[in-house]
Structure 1
Amino acid sequence: MLALTGETRRWKPKKLRLRLFSAAARLVTTGRRHRLRMPDRCPWTHIITRAADRLHALPNPG
């Protein structure tokens, strides 16, 4: 919930699971990096990538 904003923050748990966890993605390993590739045609790709960017921008707690 830290990463979601606006309308997506008010989604109920069932809707959240359906939309965020049902998106088909590939985990790609290149060298020592792991990247999550999201398809462009998925309607919630921009929400998921924006949430991941917001989580990455949070300060390190320790």
Structure 2
Amino acid sequence: MGSTFNSLVALIIFALDIWAIINVFKSSVGTGAKVLWVLLIALLPVLGLIIWAIAGPRGNVKL
């Protein structure tokens, strides 16, 4: 039971990281900033995702 839960949490974090990376690529910041954001999200999946959610660039979102 525990390993199934851990796998599900890991899969959710992975999906959110991919979503964040896609949004970084869609943003209008420079190439250098995009590379740094992607590295932060990829190397520190949970912490990088939290930092990106608070301070990261957003993609071109139309409401």
Q: TM-score over 0.5 for the alignment?
A: no
Higher relative contact order (CA 8 A, sep 6+): 2
Q: Taking structure 2 as the reference length, what is the TM-score of the superposition?
A: 0.31
Determine which structure has the larger strand proportion and give its number: 1
Q: Taking structure 1 as the reference length, what is the TM-score of the superposition?
A: 0.32
